[in-house]
């Protein structure tokens, strides 16, 4: 409080004026909208009444509405609000439409930031995470969303990760989890390996910290997601945004081709290669192995060995360090051996080059410079011939200046010459298959999912390594493998588990002799791949979920969240479901039937919000000053939800004013003299009400919150004018007010509940059915008929709806404004769009 004497004279005066105004208001009984009072009041009541607890014995059809769970980073920012408030509005709307809606919430609680905090501030990750959850719960509750808190799940809780480990064991048992030595992406800052999906951008940086990654050879655990590559390309059972579907398709990267064997001069060995262009095989003038190809050593002749090994060394260093160069030279080294083209018996030099990746196809390719850009560059560099075998449509027979990768007519291709490249593709593939030297094959870009993380704060991988028994899964009845509480966090970032003797040393579950535990933990995306399953029955302890309740709720009917998870969480969770189905744990194919991706909320300066830019919006502040309802409604009003957009502190004030005016319409209607409004006035009011219900219903269905709110604003503006007229005494007025409150309920739940109570509605507004519109009441009696001459608007006429064409034409031709443009011209024709427009075409 400011001491009284600190007030300057003018401040003193305005204080007095404010006091007088307040007194006047009380005397006049004009009550003001006060969200800071009504919001906590209703939140408390809803909680006490378990208003949002979803039950399985409800007779209405079930609807599982889910929003991606938040990560326990510590503070709820406006981005969380943007993801959750509109989603809550849609869930509430769905409930009012007659569904038994479950809208759960939980926390994604494992992960690096907790561990970083431990290293930096000496606070245990568990404590840090739990404190954050406590704080976030309070912030989430201030939003007034209809979350069923009784279903809350926290992924770092042993009662949760026990089942994460259980899923791992099931996957292992069914051959879907395996351990392999592989060159993996390693973040030198986070000191852990990463899945391919977590490495981003041109410079291949770590998704979390931005540090460029390096390659490291490590023994790691993988999930066999590639087994599902083909099925994951099938989106026919789900209704997901095209954007996500495209991204997943590209990520999986299916390509059809032929795998065939190249011969080797002076050796019975074969080199399998993969190509998507078997039609170009006669244009092969060299072949290339990846530097890491297992045959390199054997096929390198002594006189080339030194050079080859130097290149291999260089390639390896490149893979580890030099990842920033975008303009990579396509160089390589001849290894002294010749490969044989099985189609024409030609001998071609065999190279190694780092543009051929060991991780795709067979790690070896045929080099067809005329019809592949990379091969073209390579052949140019080493002076290799570039014969054309697919003639471009208007080819003049001259050497190509660039690779031609399109379709054309086959030339210089033996008996295949003259075929179109498309026909030749099939013909050559057929011949290779008949001769037993090749086979049609589908390749995917997708790699298996690397789940090992060399960090502490994750679910331990339930595996024991025994000198005698090898890899031994921890038996189910010994789950969970608990994370030790007393771990030491080293600033080197190395996993504390490695140095925790009691954790590391154990006995083999198989033979009972001393053995060591796996010290890596699981990728947190493993935890979030099944959290939606857990929500169906969170306390259940005989399995990850209660099969009966699971069957009732699953699959998720509507999922919402950010697009950034398109090729990570959203792909993993689909894989997870399919894997569980094949194991027999679940009986459906897809986890989430419909998906909606919200956009990103930007700072007031139209830039991405960040502390360094100083453009971060704190939702708590707005909740304190303007209320949660205003903040919710404003976020929905900014623009289309999937587009995101910049925050505006002026914009939110506009929405706040709107809510004040709603309050004014409902709580403080004027008192016009007694009397009856005219039938026309009543019809007009009803038209407004029913048109608005129709518009808002359509918009809510399609997630168009911005235009729904605009329609409610229009209706309220109408009511503000009407409230001084006699219509306030009519049933149409009560209907209008009721409808307005009901339509606001999903968007501004506290305000709606308060107003609903004040008009005497039965508690709660959120259990009321959504209002229905009457098409007849919504229909316009008079419409504006636009009169055009040659497509230019020349007049606007107010006419009764449903006007006949003849009558419309008569009126249009009767218009003086129109006559000016048609009087001395020939009328070619008229076009009539009922209740909208008439266009007179003249010459």
- In the chain, the largest separation of any two C-alpha atoms, in whole Å, equals 110
Q: Does 35 contact RNA by CB under 7 A?
A: no
Stretch that binds RNA, among 51-59, 432-440, 581-589, 637-645 (CB under 7 A): 637-645
- Parallel/antiparallel/unpaired status of strands 592-598 and 556-562: parallel
Min dist CB 416 to RNA, Å, is 17
Assess 793 for contact with RNA (CB under 7 A): yes
Is 811 a binder of RNA (CB under 7 A)? no
Binding span for RNA by CB under 7 A among 351-359, 574-582, 749-757, 759-767: 351-359
DSSP state of 96: H
Distance in angstroms (rounded) separating the CA atoms of residues 712 and 659: 10
Size of the site for RNA (CB under 7 A): 89
Closest CB to RNA among 156 and 428? Answer: 428
Query: CB 675 → RNA: shortest distance, Å?
Result: 22
Among 41, 55, 243, 380, the residue binding RNA under the rule CB under 7 A is 243
Q: Which of 99, 172, 251, 535 binds RNA (CB under 7 A)?
A: 251
- Round to whole Å and give the CA distance between 581 and 579: 5
- Report, in Å, the least distance between residue 796 CB and RNA: 5
End-to-end CA distance of the chain: 78
Residue closer to RNA (CB basis): 625 or 648 = 648
Tell whether residue 746 is a contact of RNA (CB under 7 A).
no
Distance CA 223, CA 111 (A): 19
Smallest separation (angstroms) from RNA to the CB of 646 = 6
Using the rule CB under 7 A, is 654 a contact of RNA? yes
Position 439 contacts RNA (CB under 7 A): no
For RNA, give the closer residue by CB, 175 or 791.
791
Min. distance of Cβ 271 from RNA in angstroms?
A: 12
**Range in contact with RNA (rule: CB under 7 A) among 33-41, 350-358, 419-427, 581-589:** 350-358
| 361 forms part of the interface with RNA (CB under 7 A) | yes
Q: Which x/- pattern over 766-785 shows residues binding RNA (rule: CB under 7 A)?
A: ------------------x-
Q: Does 612 bind RNA (CB under 7 A)?
A: no
- The correct pick among 104, 363, 462, 555 for binding RNA (CB under 7 A) is 363
* 192-231: contacts with RNA (CB under 7 A): 196-197, 200-202
Q: What are the residues facing 273 on neighbouring strands? A: 260
Out of 84, 146, 794, 812, point to the residue binding RNA (CB under 7 A): 794
Stretch that binds RNA, among 109-117, 471-479, 554-562, 654-662 (CB under 7 A): 654-662
116 near RNA (CB under 7 A): no
Q: What is the CA radius of gyration of the chain?
A: 35
Q: How far is the C-alpha of 365 from the C-alpha of 382, rounded, in Å?
A: 17
Q: Which of 272, 639, 669, 761 binds RNA (CB under 7 A)?
A: 639
Question: In this complex, which beta carbon is closest to RNA, that of residue 586 or of residue 655?
Answer: 655
For position 597 contacting RNA by CB under 7 A, the verdict is no
User: Is residue 354 within the footprint of RNA (CB under 7 A)?
Assistant: yes
How far apart, in whole angstroms, are the C-alpha atoms of residue 229 and residue 210? Answer: 29
Q: What is the DSSP letter of 537?
A: S
Shortest Å, Cβ 452 to RNA: 20
CB of 642 to RNA, least distance (A): 9
449-450, strands of its sheet edge to edge? 192-194, 177-187, 214-223, 449-450
Check residue 391 for interaction with RNA (CB under 7 A). Answer: no
Q: Which span sits near RNA by CB under 7 A: 354-362, 570-578, 586-594, 730-738?
A: 354-362
Range in contact with RNA (rule: CB under 7 A) among 25-33, 86-94, 478-486, 833-841: 833-841
Q: Is residue 274 a contact point for RNA (CB under 7 A)? A: yes
For residue 291, with 0-12 CB atoms within 10 Å meaning exposed, 13-18 middle and 19 or more buried, which class applies? buried
CA nearest to 718, candidates 736, 700, 697: 736
User: Which of 115, 152, 372, 754 contacts RNA by CB under 7 A?
Assistant: 372
Distance CA 737, CA 781 (A): 23
Choices 49-57, 324-332, 531-539, 668-676; region in contact with RNA by CB under 7 A: 324-332
Q: From the CB of 720, what's the least distance to RNA, in Å?
A: 5
Residue 802 is a binding residue for RNA (CB under 7 A): no
Q: Are 48 and 636 in contact (CB under 8 A)?
A: no
Q: Report whether 484 contacts 500 (CB < 8 A).
A: yes
Binding-site member from 400, 490, 563, 684 for RNA (CB under 7 A): 563
Q: Crossing angle, helix 628-637 and helix 705-722, to 10 degrees?
A: 120
Buried b (16+ CB within 10 A) or exposed e, 296-332: beebbeeebeeebeebbeebbeebeeebeeeeeebbb
The DSSP call for residue 461 is P
**Binding residue for RNA (CB under 7 A) from 62, 216, 316, 445?**
445
DSSP secondary structure, 257-319, as one string: EEEEEEEETTEEEEEEEEES-GGGGGG--EEEE-TT-TTHHHH--HHHHHHHHHHHHHHHHHH
Nearest CA to 497 out of 469, 458, 531 is that of: 458
Q: Is 813 in the site for RNA (CB under 7 A)?
A: no
Q: Which positions from 713 through 742 interact with RNA, judged by CB under 7 A? A: 713-714, 717, 720-721
Question: Is 280 within 8 Å of 371 (Cβ atoms)?
Answer: yes
* Residue 255 lies near RNA (rule: CB under 7 A): yes
73 DSSP 8-state letter: -
Among 277, 565, 686, 691, binds RNA (CB under 7 A): 277
Pairing of strands 62-67, 100-102: parallel
If the CB atoms of residues 147 and 703 are measured against RNA, the closer one turns out to be 703
What is the DSSP secondary-structure string of 793-808?
Answer: EEEEEEEETT--HHHH
H or E stretch at 720? helix 705-722
Least spacing, CB of residue 479 vs RNA, in Å:
34
The answer to whether the CB of 206 falls within 8 A of the CB of 187 is: yes
**DSSP symbol at 425:** H
Considering the rule CB under 7 A, would residue 645 count as an interface residue with RNA? yes
Helix (H), strand (E) at residue 723: none
C-alpha span between 284 and 296 (Å, rounded): 20
């Amino acid at each position: 409080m400011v001491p009284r004497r600190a007030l300057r004279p003018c401040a003193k005066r305005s204080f007095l004026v404010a006091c007088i105004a307040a007194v006047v208001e009380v005397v006049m009984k004009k009550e003001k909208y006060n969200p800071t009072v009504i919001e906590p009041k209703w939140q408390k009541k809803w909680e006490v009444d378990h208003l949002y607890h979803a039950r399985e014995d409800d007779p209405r059809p079930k609807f599982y509405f889910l929003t991606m769970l938040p990560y326990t980073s510590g503070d709820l920012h406006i981005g969380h609000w943007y993801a959750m408030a509109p989603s809550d509005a849609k869930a509430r709307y769905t409930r009012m439409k007659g569904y038994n809606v479950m809208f759960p919430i939980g926390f994604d609680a494992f992960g690096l930031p907790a561990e970083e905090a431990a290293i930096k501030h000496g606070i245990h990750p568990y404590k840090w995470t739990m404190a954050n959850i406590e704080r976030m719960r309070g912030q989430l509750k201030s939003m007034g969303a209809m979350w069923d808190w009784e279903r809350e799940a926290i992924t770092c809780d042993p009662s949760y990760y026990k089942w994460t480990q259980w899923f791992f064991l099931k996957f292992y048992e069914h051959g879907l989890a395996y351990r392999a030595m592989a060159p993996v992406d390693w973040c030198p800052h986070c000191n852990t390996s990463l899945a391919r999906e977590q490495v981003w951008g041109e410079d291949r940086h770590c998704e979390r910290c931005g540090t460029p990654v390096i390659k490291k050879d490590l023994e790691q655990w993988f999930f066999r997601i590639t087994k599902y590559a083909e099925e994951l390309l099938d989106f026919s059972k789900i209704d997901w945004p095209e954007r996500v579907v495209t991204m997943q398709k590209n990520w999986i990267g299916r390509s059809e081709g032929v795998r065939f064997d190249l011969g080797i001069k002076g050796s019975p060995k074969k080199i399998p290669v993969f190509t998507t262009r078997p039609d170009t095989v006669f244009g092969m003038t060299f072949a290339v192995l990846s530097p890491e190809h297992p045959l390199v050593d054997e096929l390198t002749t002594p006189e080339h060995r030194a050079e080859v090994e130097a290149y291999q060394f260089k390639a390896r260093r490149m893979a580890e360090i030099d990842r920033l160069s975008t303009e990579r030279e396509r160089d390589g080294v001849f290894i002294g051996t010749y490969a044989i083209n099985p189609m024409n018996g030609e001998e071609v030099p065999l190279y190694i080059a780092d543009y051929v990746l060991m991780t795709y196809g067979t790690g070896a390719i045929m080099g067809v410079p005329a019809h592949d850009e990379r091969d073209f560059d390579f052949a140019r560099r080493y002076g290799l011939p570039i014969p054309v075998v697919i003639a471009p449509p208007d080819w003049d027979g001259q050497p190509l200046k660039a690779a031609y990768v399109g379709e054309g007519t086959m030339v210089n291709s033996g008996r295949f010459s003259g075929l179109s490249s498309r026909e030749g593709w099939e013909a050559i593939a057929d011949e290779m298959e008949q001769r037993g030297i090749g086979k049609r094959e589908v390749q995917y870009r997708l790699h298996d999912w690397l789940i090992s993380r060399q960090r502490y704060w994750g679910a331990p991988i339930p595996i024991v390594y025994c000198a005698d028994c090898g890899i031994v899964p921890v038996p189910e009845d010994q789950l969970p493998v608990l994370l030790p509480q007393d771990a030491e966090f080293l600033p080197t970032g190395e996993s504390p588990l490695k140095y925790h003797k009691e954790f590391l040393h154990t006995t083999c579950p198989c033979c009972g002799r001393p053995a060591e535990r796996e010290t890596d933990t699981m990728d947190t995306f493993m935890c979030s791949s099944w959290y939606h399953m857990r929500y169906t029955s969170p306390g259940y302890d005989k399995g990850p979920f209660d099969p009966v309740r699971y069957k009732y709720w699953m699959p998720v009917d509507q999922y919402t969240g950010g697009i950034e998870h398109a090729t990570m969480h959203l792909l993993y969770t689909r894989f997870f479901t399919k894997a569980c189905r094949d194991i027999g744990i679940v009986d459906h194919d897809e986890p989430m039937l419909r998906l909606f991706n919200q956009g990103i909320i930007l700072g007031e300066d139209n830039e991405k919000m960040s502390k360094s830019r100083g453009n971060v919006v704190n939702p708590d502040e707005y909740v304190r000053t303007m209320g949660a309802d205003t903040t919710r409604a404003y976020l929905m009003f900014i623009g289309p939800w999937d587009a995101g957009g910049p925050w505006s502190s002026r914009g939110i004030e506009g929405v706040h004013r709107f809510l004040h005016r709603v309050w004014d319409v409902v709580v403080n209607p004027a008192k016009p003299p007694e009397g009856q409004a005219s039938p026309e006035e009543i019809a007009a009011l009803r038209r407004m009400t029913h048109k608005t219900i129709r518009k808002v219903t359509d918009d809510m269905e399609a997630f168009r919150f911005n235009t729904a709110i605009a329609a409610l604003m229009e209706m309220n503006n109408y009511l503000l004018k009407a409230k001084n007229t006699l219509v306030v005494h009519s049933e149409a007025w009560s209907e209008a007010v009721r409808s307005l409150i009901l339509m606001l309920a999903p968007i501004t739940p506290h305000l709606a509940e308060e107003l609903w109570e004040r008009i005497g509605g039965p508690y709660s507004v959120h259990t009321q059915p959504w209002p229905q519109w009457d098409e007849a009441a919504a229909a316009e009696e008079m419409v504006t008929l636009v009169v055009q001459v040659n497509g230019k608007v020349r007049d606007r006429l107010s006419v009764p709806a449903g006007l006949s064409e003849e009558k419309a034409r008569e009126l249009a031709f009767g218009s003086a404004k129109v006559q000016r443009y048609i009087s001395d011209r020939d009328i070619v024709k008229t076009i009539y769009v009922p209740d909208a427009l008439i266009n007179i075409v003249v010459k």
